[in-house]
Structure formats: C-alpha cells, structure tokens
Amino acid sequence: METRRTTWVLLVFITISTPLALAVETYLRGIMFPPEFEEVRMYLRPSLELPVWSLLSLVALTTYVGIRRMKGRIERRMAKRPDSEQTQHYRDKDTLDSIVIFTSLPQVPAIMATFGFMFGAPLTPVLVNMAVATLGVLMVGLYGMRVGAQSRDA
C-alpha cells in the first residue's frame, strides 16, 4: 500500500513539473533579461510559431511510445530477477522505475516548447503543448500503475 501512495505522489509531482517550469521560466525571464529582449522575442515570434505547434506531434508520439513500452520493460525486469525476488514488492519497484522513465518522455517536447516561448513563440501553442503533455504524463503513469497492479489481481 505504501508503494502505491508513493507512486501517486510521484505522479502528481511529475505531472506538475512541466507547467511549473513554464511559470518559473517566465518569472526569471522577467527579472533577469533586459527590456530590449522583448523586442527580440517579438521579432522571432512569427518564425517560432510553427515549430512550437509541430512539437505537439512529438508529445503524442512520446506518449504512445511510453504506453507501448511500459509493460514490456516491467516484464523484462521481472524476468531477469531470481526466483526469490519474484514478489509484488519488486514488481512495484520496477513499475515505479518505469513510470519515472516513461512519464518523462512527453515532457521533453513540452520543455522544448517552453524554450520556444522564452525566445518569443506565442503563448497559445506553448500552453496547448503543456496541456497535452500533462495529459500524456497522466495517461502513461496511470497505465503503468494498472500494469503494476495486474499481478495483485491475478
């Protein structure tokens, strides 16, 4: 039961980390960059809009890869363990490790969108990337928890 609670807490922190990175970046840019930097951002805005929108396809792809690879990784890790470690405790540990790895995948393009915003990309595609990446993290994490719980139900 403790592992399940830990997994939920970790999933919440992973889920909020990308939107939090956008907020921190925006705040730090406001206090650290010179006012002239806004002119550069306005100049670059048109050329950054399409690349930031295109990052949505990477968010979707990495979410798909995370979901598809999660179960296989957990099963491979369990298969490598000796018979004495074929317990729910070790399955939970492997599940938690897999959730940490695979929920990070959809965040990578979302963080790239945050960098795009720092250099002038419009806010709308960045926020859409954040929302879709957050959904992707939740989908991958919840799927991992379901896969991890399968042996309890069997």
pLDDT above 70 for 1: no
Per-residue pLDDT band for 152 (boundaries 50, 70, 90) equals low
Over residues 86-137, the pLDDT tens digits come to 888 888 889 999 999 999 999 999 999 999 999 999 999 999 999 999 999 9
Distances (CA, A) of 12 to 2, 44, 115: 16, 34, 23
Count Cβ neighbours within 10 Å for each residue of 117-128 and write b for 16 or more, e otherwise.
Answer: bbebbeeebbeb
pLDDT (0 to 100) of residue 153: 47
Residue whose C-alpha is closest to residue 132's, from 53, 49, 51, 59: 59
